[in-house]
């Protein structure tokens, strides 16, 4: 799949006319309902449980309300909702009528929300689900390749951009989990992370629904509250960020409260291996790190803490270019050929779309390497690499080496301009308060030299 992509002149997005169905799990939202038992528990929150039939009926009611108001057929609908069943219903109903879902974070600043609104120009903004019971016929369900949602990037390269995804690609995380982990009807997936972020909504509630399990709606982020919710709802897997995992350890949460978990999936921020391994040992639960990006639309590789690298998920061909950049495309052969498609491009920005999909591959902007076992190591943003005297140095590698030294609690590595070498490597180091004495920079440099001689 290395041919140049075709950009549609009207939309400014990639033209994808068909996508091979996933070999496991649903490839459309309509297939979700047909693959679940009506009386199975679909959603659990602080107030009640929803059966599949009840959830489906509510999605249809909201979809009819949207249709009656003319909010169907490709219109862009923005939703400001919290961590409750309404977020999942809003996505399912929006896609059912062929509209495009946009999440607006309740915790975002006014400027951040306005930036998204200015960029997408939504046809309507909702701060709750419509309450009316309209009696209208629903349109035909949209094609798997129809535009379904826009995920806004974190803006590491400038202003945030809206990555447009098809209906089928919203279900890729579920298909990958079913294929690689045997995720099924006994799964209870919960997260306190904001469901206004498309990737969280997909990895949590939608994956639970698509695999036949139950989505657990959590809205408390304090470590003791998170542990209480995980125990109360018998959650089998939780999606967290490193900060919450750190707090679960530092606040001495009782591991017995986490006994139903089979794994903690951690993403959204860098997580050094030493702390992750310590958390895994203390909590007694496998910690799985996820590498992904909004353009994917979620993770494309995962590793359990202690592994040599991350294993690419099925259907994704990972390549390292000559400059060290990680690029992605669909695999060409096997049952997953043509299933993973990635984003159609950036809303309203055809130039950025063309740059993203150079040579028929999605350019992540991240630097990495593939080991002999084809496992992926991610070294950080390509733009953050340090060029010292013609040698490229990954800050993440130096940070990992420093964190392995006694007396170092935290560290950030960066390049400082140098007239002779171009850049020299610098580090801001936080001392470990439990270690006697102060961290000496010269001593650290000496001890580090054997691992990273290029920085000396």
Question: pLDDT tens-digit profile of 293-340?
Answer: 999 999 999 999 888 899 999 999 999 999 999 999 999 999 999 999
Nearest to 84 by CA among 203, 230, 215: 215
Report how far residue 393's alpha carbon sits from residue 415's, in angstroms, rounded to the nearest whole number.
9
* 8 A C-beta contact, residue 207 and residue 195: no
Give the mean pLDDT of 127-136. Answer: 93
Amino acid 456: pLDDT: 46
Mean pLDDT of the chain: 89
Question: pLDDT tens-digit profile of 354-407?
Answer: 999 999 999 999 999 999 899 998 888 887 777 776 666 777 777 777 777 777
Location of structure tokens 């690029």: 327
Strands 299-304, 311-312: parallel, antiparallel or unpaired by DSSP?
antiparallel
Per-residue tokens: 405: 């030294």
Residue 223 pairs in a beta bridge with none
Report how far residue 23's alpha carbon sits from residue 331's, in angstroms, rounded to the nearest whole number.
14
Residue 206: band (very low, low, confident or very high) from pLDDT cuts 50, 70, 90 = very high
Global pTM reads 0.87
The Cβ-side half-sphere exposure at 174, using a 13 Å CA radius, reads 33
Amino acid 181: pLDDT: 94
Nearest to 394 by CA among 326, 441, 327: 326
Residue 1: band (very low, low, confident or very high) from pLDDT cuts 50, 70, 90 = very low
- In degrees and rounded to multiples of 5, residue 285 shows phi and psi of -130, 135
* CA pseudo-torsion sign 297, 141, 314, 289: positive
What domains does the chain contain, in order, with CATH numbers?
29-380 (3.40.50.12780), 387-455 (3.30.300.30)
Strands 287-292, 263-266: parallel, antiparallel or unpaired by DSSP?
parallel
Per-residue tokens: 84: 């409750």
Burial of 311 (0-12, 13-18, 19+ CB in 10 A): middle
Nearest to 74 by CA among 128, 124, 146: 146
Report how far residue 318's alpha carbon sits from residue 331's, in angstroms, rounded to the nearest whole number.
9
* 8 A C-beta contact, residue 51 and residue 41: yes
Question: pLDDT tens-digit profile of 400-426?
Answer: 777 777 778 788 888 888 766 677 888
Q: In 212-246, which positions are buried (b, 16+ CB within 10 angstroms) versus exposed (e)?
A: bbbbbbbeebebeebbebbbebebbbbbbbbebbb
């Amino acid at each position: 799949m290395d041919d140049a992509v075709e950009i549609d002149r009207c939309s400014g997005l990639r033209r994808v006319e068909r996508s091979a169905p996933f070999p496991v799990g649903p490839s459309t939202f309509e297939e979700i309902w047909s693959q679940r038992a009506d009386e199975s528990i679909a959603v659990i929150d602080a107030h009640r449980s929803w059966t599949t039939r009840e959830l489906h009926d509510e999605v249809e009611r909201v979809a009819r309300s949207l249709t009656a108001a003319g909010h169907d057929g490709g219109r862009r609908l923005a939703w400001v909702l919290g961590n409750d069943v309404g977020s999942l219903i809003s996505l399912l109903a929006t896609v059912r009528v062929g509209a495009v879902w946009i999440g607006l974070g309740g915790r975002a600043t006014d400027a951040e929300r306005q930036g998204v609104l200015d960029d997408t120009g939504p046809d309507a903004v909702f701060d709750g689900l419509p309450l009316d019971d309209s009696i209208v016929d629903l349109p035909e369900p949209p094609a798997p390749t129809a535009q379904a949602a826009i995920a806004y990037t974190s803006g590491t390269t400038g202003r945030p951009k809206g990555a447009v995804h098809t209906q089928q690609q919203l279900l890729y995380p579920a298909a990958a989990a079913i294929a690689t982990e045997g995720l099924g009807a006994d799964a209870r997936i919960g997260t306190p992370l904001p469901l206004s972020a498309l990737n969280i909504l997909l990895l949590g509630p939608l994956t639970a629904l698509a695999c036949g399990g139950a989505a657990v709606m959590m809205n408390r982020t304090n470590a003791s509250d998170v542990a209480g919710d995980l125990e109360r709802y018998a959650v089998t897997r939780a999606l967290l960020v490193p900060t919450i995992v750190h707090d679960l350890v530092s606040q001495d949460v009782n591991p017995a409260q986490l006994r139903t978990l089979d794994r903690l999936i951690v993403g959204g921020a860098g997580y050094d291996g030493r702390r992750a391994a310590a958390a895994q040992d203390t909590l007694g639960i496998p910690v799985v790190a996820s590498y992904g990006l909004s353009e994917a639309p979620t993770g494309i590789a995962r590793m359990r803490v202690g592994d040599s690298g991350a294993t690419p998920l099925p259907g994704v061909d990972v390549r390292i270019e000559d400059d060290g950049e990680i690029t992605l495309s669909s695999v060409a052969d096997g049952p997953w050929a043509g299933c993973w498609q990635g984003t159609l491009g950036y809303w309203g920005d055809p130039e950025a779309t063309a740059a993203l999909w150079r040579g028929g591959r999605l350019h992540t902007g991240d630097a990495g390497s593939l080991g002999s076992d084809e496992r992926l190591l991610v070294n950080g943003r390509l733009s953050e690499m340090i060029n010292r005297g013609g040698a490229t140095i990954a800050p993440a590698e130096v940070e990992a080496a420093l964190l392995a030294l006694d007396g170092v609690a935290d560290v950030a590595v960066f390049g400082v301009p140098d007239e002779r070498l171009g850049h020299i490597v610098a580090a801001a180091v936080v001392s470990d308060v439990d270690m006697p004495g102060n961290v000496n920079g010269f001593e650290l440099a000496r001890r580090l030299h054997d691992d990273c001689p290029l920085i000396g």
